């Protein structure tokens, strides 16, 4: 299994050096509301959904940052307005929704880069649904490190506007 993962990582970096990689595979693990693992052609890819951030589903170091940092990457951290117990509930709900939506299903992932943890940062498609935008529309994620030049900026921002207008999830506070 380690050889498969290592080979996948090497293939991953080679493909990304060419500027992009699109994979299609089965979701075999949901780590939380914005991180999944996809099995494709014998390789395992850990994918962090690009352009969004979901609340944490456990009291880890990032959870502590989410409830204490007002600004993050030059954007207002909306998680700080949510009571910690509710934030955990929303994180668990985000994980459950991601699991319900994609676990065991075939997705297409447009990987744009690799983060410092070796995860592919990408746009995840389930059929015609951009999962990244879906999670924002449900109020279970916020736009995060999303620049105007991002490939799906308008889809993510319109999903956020809809969630805010309907006071869904994280936008209910």
User: Which range marks the domain in which residue 87 is found?
Assistant: 2-129
Which among 119, 137, 142, 160 is annotated as catalytic?
Answer: 119
User: Is 138 within the bounds of a domain?
Assistant: no
* Best CA proximity match to 67, nearest among 59, 49, 75: 59
In this predicted structure, what is the pLDDT of residue 85? Answer: 84
In this predicted structure, what is the pLDDT of residue 149? Answer: 77
> How many independent structural domains does the chain possess?
1
User: Is 109 within the bounds of a domain?
Assistant: yes
User: Is 143 within the bounds of a domain?
Assistant: no
Residue range 44-96, pLDDT digits in tens: 999 999 999 999 887 777 767 776 765 656 666 678 788 888 999 999 999 99
d(CA 150, CA 144): 11
Annotated active-site residue 48? The verdict is yes
d(CA 18, CA 29): 27
User: Is 6 within the bounds of a domain?
Assistant: yes
Annotated active-site residue 72? The verdict is no
Annotated active-site residue 119? The verdict is yes
User: Is 79 within the bounds of a domain?
Assistant: yes
User: Is 140 within the bounds of a domain?
Assistant: no
User: In CATH, what number is assigned to the domain containing residue 47?
Assistant: 2.40.50.90
Residue range 97-127, pLDDT digits in tens: 999 999 999 999 999 999 999 999 999 999 9
Residue range 124-158, pLDDT digits in tens: 999 999 999 999 999 999 998 878 778 999 999 99
d(CA 146, CA 152): 9
pTM score, two decimals? 0.83
Q: Which residues contact 39 (CB under 8 A, 6 or more apart)?
A: 25, 26, 28, 45
């Amino acid at each position: 299994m380690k050889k498969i993962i290592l080979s996948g990582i090497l293939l991953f970096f080679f493909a990304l050096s060419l500027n992009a990689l699109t994979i299609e595979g089965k979701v075999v693990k949901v780590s939380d509301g914005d991180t999944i693992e996809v099995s494709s052609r014998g390789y395992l890819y850990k994918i962090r959904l690009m352009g969004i951030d979901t609340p944490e589903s456990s009291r880890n170091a990032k959870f502590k940052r989410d409830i204490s940092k007002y600004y993050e990457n030059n954007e207002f951290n909306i998680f700080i307005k949510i009571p910690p117990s509710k934030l955990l509930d929303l994180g668990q709900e985000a994980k459950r929704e991601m699991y319900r939506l994609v676990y065991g299903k075939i997705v297409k992932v447009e990987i744009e880069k690799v983060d410092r943890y070796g995860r592919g940062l990408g746009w995840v498609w389930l059929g015609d649904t951009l999962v990244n935008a879906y999670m924002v529309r449900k109020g279970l994620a916020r736009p995060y490190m999303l620049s105007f030049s991002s490939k799906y900026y308008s889809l993510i921002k319109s999903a956020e506007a809809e969630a805010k207008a309907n006071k869904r999830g994280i936008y209910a506070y």
